Amino acid sequence: MKTVTKEEVEGFLQKVGKQGEKVLNVLGNLLPVAKAMESDFGLAFLSDLQARYVELLNKVVDLTATEEEKIEMKVTKNMLMKFAIRINAFNERIDIIKEKSA
């Protein structure tokens, strides 16, 4: 997980003012998702979810998937995409803080 120092946050807030509070608020809301990436449970959950998606995708490609499996694959894909979007958003906010704090 990317991190920022106290000094970087202070420098960022000095440069961007109140607008920076919005960035920090979004970052704080995304922090639990980023922390999940570092936990044993979070990593296992994501790994299991990804493995299940691949398993279901193979069945769809092989034309052996049931309608329920097709639906499960779509739901699993959406879960993975939402997780990826949140992690990317977290990392982008960290990059913004680092870039504007200098």
Residue 97 has pLDDT above 90, yes or no: yes
Q: Model-level pTM?
A: 0.84
pLDDT of residue 1: 86
CA dihedral of residues 42, 43, 49, 54 (deg, nearest 10): 170
Q: Which domain holds residue 83?
A: 6-101
Query: Which is higher by pLDDT, 79 or 1?
Result: 79
Q: Which residues of 30-66 are buried (b: 16+ CB within 10 A; e: fewer)?
A: beebbebeeeeebeeebeeeeeebeebeebeeeeebe
Structure confidence by residue, pLDDT tens digits, 67-96: 999 999 999 999 999 999 999 999 999 999
- Would residue 40 count as lying in a domain? yes
- Would residue 52 count as lying in a domain? yes
Number of structural domains in the chain: 1
3-class DSSP assignment, residue 45 = helix
- Would residue 85 count as lying in a domain? yes
- Would residue 93 count as lying in a domain? yes
Contact present, 8 and 96 (Cβ < 8 Å):
no
Q: Which structure tokens are listed for 33?
A: 């998702």
- Would residue 1 count as lying in a domain? no
